[in-house]
Chains A and B, each alone.
Chain A
Amino acid sequence: MLECMPKARSEHTTGKINPAKTCQPIGAMYAALGIHGCLPHSHGSQGCCAYHRMHLTRHFRDQVLASSSSFTEGASVFGGAANLKTSIKNIFDIYNPEIIAVHTTCLSETIGDDIPTIIKQSEIPEGKIVIHANTPSYQGSHITGFSNMVKGMVTYLAERDEETLRQKRVNIIPGFINPADMREIKRITSDLGIDMIMFPDTTDVLDSPLTSKYEMYPEGGATIAQIRASGNSRLTLTLGHWSSDAAGALLQEKCGVPCIPLKVPIGLKATDDLIMTLKEKFDAVVPKSLTIERGQVVDTLIDTHFHYQGKKVAIFGDPDLVIPLTEFVLTMGMIPTYIITGTPGRQFEDEVSAMIEAAGIQDYIVKAEGDLFELHQWIKEKPVELLLGTSYGKYIARAEDIPLVRVGFPILDRAVHPLMPITGYRGCLRLIEMISNAFLERRDRDCLDEDFELVL
């Protein structure tokens, strides 16, 4: 039996069984790939780097390059300074990136390597840059690591070097989302006629076309000049508390760029919020095209509401995606019943509870730092009709015969998802289509001949 539920109910009190998170360094690696001409560098054992590259490659189905300090026993005893210095020299010699983004691992953190000092002592060619983030794997999650690396970009690169802020320019820190989502947010912002700096930006890096040519550093990514200039922008929007707020707050403190925290624009309300904030702050005119897109979403919701309204759903994944997803399923009239993130943080539970209770739903469980064992146990006791989350939900989906709609990171068993947005109004349509079809396909599969309908 492909499930891990013991027959008798038993308390799960320690450790993780089927985790809903992974460790900080992979988040830092993903963030670093959103800088143009950057080689992420993993300061630790070789395995970490290999695993992160493999995991990201499996999700994005694109080449992920990163180097490793290749720790051995010696480095672990005497400290990793020599390895990092040699690495920096070798990387610039061999791979010639514009910038190296170093992140630590549990090993180098436990050893206590002082990364800023080591970087200062390293040979860095003229015009090249090395930045770093501390990403101890034994704290937080991959989202924390992402956040720490974005913060590192601000620490090392952002500068306020102009007297007045650029009135027409916004910084957008998009959070740990797919390139297609970053692309969609950029499109919306540019449709509003507003200049923008997005960092990190993995469009044209992890969704690059097949050209028969191999680009070690693909076209995309926020340039160093852009990240530097973010210090002169009029405003920063941080999308997602867990992955983006820390960097926004630092940019405000360091360069005086005010920061407005928003949700990742998944669902009608969060997308409205993004557009209205931009409209208000930049006196922008919302083009008719966006109004039409929004209208199409509302139209589709009404056309299909009877497919999913009142259905119970479990949602799991990263906090910055799960929160707006919960908001959207509430808009759809569904009943979020179990909501889990693997990332620690009470604020997740408070925020989700507030939304669900405002919708008049009492019977639900929300948990930060949960795992999929727990989720499965709850579902066994009281089932739901839909799972919304990563590929790791497929064991529960199979054991309990519940449809799984795949969103979030990682998705290892389906393709195309990194190229299709779930953000913005177009993303709403895609979510509605996936959720609605999941129920309808189930109905077509399960119903009796006499109930089988052509028109649904």
Chain B
Amino acid sequence: MEYDCSLASGRTGCISERQNSIITTGKNKSRIHCADDSLAGAVSQRACVFCGARVVLNPITDAIHLVHGPIGCATYTWDIRGSLSSGSEMYRHSFSTDLKEKDVVFGGEPKLAACIDEVVTKYRPPAVFVYSTCVVGMIGDDIITVCKNASECYGIDVIPVESSGFISGNKIVGYRAAAEALMKLIRPKPGEIIEKTRKLNFLGEYNLGGEKWLIERYLNEIGIEVNVAFTGDSTVAALKLSPGSCLNIVQCTGSMHWVATNLEKEYGIPYLDVNFFGAENTAESLRRIAAFYDDPEIIRKAEILIEHELARITPEIDKYRKKLAGKRAAIYVGGAFKAVALIRQMKDLGMEVVVTGTQTGKQEEYETISGLLSEGTIVVDDANPAEIERFLLDMKVDVMAGGVKERVLAYKLGIGFVDHNHDRKECLAGFDGAITFAREVYITTCSPVWKRLKLSIGEET
């Protein structure tokens, strides 16, 4: 019973309310508690609704993203995603209404209207997203009306995003706010007809390190065209054509399932869950997409591509597997989708996953996760740094995959770290991404610096 959840109480960093958010596979009968609000006073790794909305919408390259609130929310989200563009770079600039005390007292609507006027006059963007923040929600600015007026005045989409931070500490609620904004954007105007095509939309793909481009290349090779990704390297015009696609493939389920089901409801577009992290997942996803098109030529080309790519990357990955076999990994990421993909990839590299956690996982997702893990693995929802530290040490972890805040913690403990956050710079998807991922895990797990560290504190190497 060394790692059962009773550990959660009475040790630094854990309190009784958190017990149910930590389970050990094979030991706990109860189900994990998740999607709870974080405890007041917790050093949580979670963010807010605004953060969730911003990460989903920000990659729309040619829109203006105007943050309505005091300056901070715009500054902290200025160009922090590793989401790349093949065209406009407008989305990488930071626009804020920079609310002041008098705006908070008398209302921020006039300033918002003035800011929209200024940015639209300056840049003539095809769309403006207006994000509401905590204060705006609190003082009750009617951003819907301001946006509607501006929209009518300029003949472009000015779309309010209901993302006041306090609505929830769970980014998922922000994903939903973004999803609603997206549905507004793409809904055809009365009388407008969107032509049906054989293209697909790629939902929950943010083109981090050019991942969308890579997958699109595979799809093109097998004879399938991508209309647009939601939202990596997307443009307003391409998003507006999305109702004409014949299929939606959904990668990041946390942010895009709702959009997929609504696109199915409103426009009759079916969707497939896909996963392009890891070679096996990539192959399986390509096969499923090809099967959907039910075209022998596409299926044949897909098999050729998969065979060719696997033959190319397998020897490369084997090299890393030799170095990494038996190493112990921990995963702490935003969503369960990413956690599942990472577990598979770590296992492919011959590693053992001993800790897994997410900020926003759902009940059934945690069940999937537990199913993938061997007995005795720790599964945790919304972990705080003290818990993460304890698990990393107790479980003798060699390498951790996580986000910005976990990076320095892992390093301080002498543990390697792989960035799998939404601001990473490396392409980790597809067949090539599998090699990149293996290399990333290898260089951090087997860095020669770790040897020096041990020497410097008097241990044998």
Q: A382 to B166, alpha carbons, bound, how many Å?
A: 44
Tell me the chain B residues, 91-140 only, with Cβ under 8 Å from chain A. Answer: 92-101, 103-104, 111, 114-115, 118-119, 121-123, 133-135, 137-139
B-contact 0/1 string along A208-228, CB 8 Å cutoff: 101111101000000000000
Checking B72, B94, B134, B169 against A17 with a beta-carbon cut-off of 8 angstroms, the contacting residue is: B94
Interface size, A (range): 35 or more
B19 at the interface (CB under 8 A from A): no
Contact B78 A45 (CB under 8 A): no
Contact A66 B43 (CB under 8 A): yes
Number of A-B contacts defined by CB within 8 Å: 254
Tell me the smallest distance from the CB of A17 to a CB of chain B, in Å: 6
A-contact 0/1 string along B55-77, CB 8 Å cutoff: 00000000000100111111111
Contact B15 A23 (CB under 8 A): no
A51 at the interface (CB under 8 A from B): yes
The interface residues of chain B lying within 8 Å CB-to-CB of A53 are 405
Contact A110 B48 (CB under 8 A): no
Q: Do A10 and B71 contact each other (CB < 8 Å), given the known contacts A45-B134, A67-B43?
A: no
The interface residues of chain A lying within 8 Å CB-to-CB of B122 are 6, 10
B453 at the interface (CB under 8 A from A): yes
The interface residues of chain A lying within 8 Å CB-to-CB of B135 are 106-107, 110, 137-138
Contact B44 A216 (CB under 8 A): no
Contact A139 B42 (CB under 8 A): no
Q: A62 to B409, alpha carbons, bound, how many Å?
A: 8
Checking A14, A23, A211 against B118 with a beta-carbon cut-off of 8 angstroms, the contacting residue is: A14
Contact A48 B72 (CB under 8 A): yes
The interface residues of chain A lying within 8 Å CB-to-CB of B134 are 44-45, 48, 71, 76, 105-107, 110
Q: A212 to B457, alpha carbons, bound, how many Å?
A: 9
Contact B413 A212 (CB under 8 A): yes
Contact B115 A69 (CB under 8 A): no
Checking B15, B45, B119, B414 against A210 with a beta-carbon cut-off of 8 angstroms, the contacting residue is: B414
Q: Do A50 and B75 contact each other (CB < 8 Å), given the known contacts A45-B134, A73-B167, A107-B135?
A: no
Q: Do A107 and B15 contact each other (CB < 8 Å), given the known contacts A46-B46, A67-B41?
A: no
Tell me the smallest distance from the CB of A392 to a CB of chain B, in Å: 7
Q: Do A107 and B96 contact each other (CB < 8 Å), given the known contacts A23-B70, A46-B46, A57-B405?
A: no
Q: Do A72 and B166 contact each other (CB < 8 Å), given the known contacts A4-B93, A17-B94?
A: yes
B291 at the interface (CB under 8 A from A): no
Q: A86 to B46, alpha carbons, bound, how many Å?
A: 18
B-contact 0/1 string along A29-71, CB 8 Å cutoff: 0000000000101001111111111110110011111111111
A447 at the interface (CB under 8 A from B): no
**CB-CB nearest in chain A for B134:** A107
The interface residues of chain B lying within 8 Å CB-to-CB of A137 are 70-72, 135
Contact B41 A72 (CB under 8 A): no
Contact B386 A95 (CB under 8 A): yes
Tell me the chain B residues, 22-56 only, with Cβ under 8 Å from chain A. Answer: 37-51
B385 at the interface (CB under 8 A from A): yes
A90 at the interface (CB under 8 A from B): yes
The interface residues of chain A lying within 8 Å CB-to-CB of B89 are 1-3
Q: Do A13 and B118 contact each other (CB < 8 Å), given the known contacts A23-B70, A107-B134?
A: yes
- How many residues in B have their beta carbons less than 8 Å from beta carbons of A? 79
**CB-CB nearest in chain A for B88:** A1
**CB-CB nearest in chain A for B133:** A106
B13 at the interface (CB under 8 A from A): yes
Contact B14 A94 (CB under 8 A): yes
A128 at the interface (CB under 8 A from B): no
Q: A70 to B48, alpha carbons, bound, how many Å?
A: 9
Contact B40 A70 (CB under 8 A): yes
Contact B404 A54 (CB under 8 A): yes
Q: A86 to B99, alpha carbons, bound, how many Å?
A: 30
The interface residues of chain B lying within 8 Å CB-to-CB of A63 are 385, 408-409, 412
Tell me the smallest distance from the CB of B333 to a CB of chain A, in Å: 15
Contact A46 B409 (CB under 8 A): no
Tell me the chain A residues, 328-350 only, with Cβ under 8 Å from chain B. Answer: 342
Tell me the chain A residues, 71-122 only, with Cβ under 8 Å from chain B. Answer: 71-73, 75-76, 82-84, 86-91, 93-96, 105-107, 110-111
Q: Do A65 and B115 contact each other (CB < 8 Å), given the known contacts A106-B69, A106-B104?
A: no
Q: A91 to B42, alpha carbons, bound, how many Å?
A: 7
Contact A50 B72 (CB under 8 A): no
Checking A50, A72, A110, A141 against B168 with a beta-carbon cut-off of 8 angstroms, the contacting residue is: A72
Which residues of A are in contact with B by a Cβ distance under 8 Å?
1-4, 6, 10, 12-19, 21-23, 25-26, 39, 41, 44-55, 57-58, 61-73, 75-76, 82-84, 86-91, 93-96, 105-107, 110-111, 136-139, 141, 208, 210-214, 216, 342, 392, 395
Listed A/B pairs (12) with beta-carbon separation below 8 Å: A17-B93, A23-B71, A45-B48, A50-B44, A51-B72, A68-B44, A71-B134, A84-B40, A87-B41, A90-B15, A106-B135, A107-B138
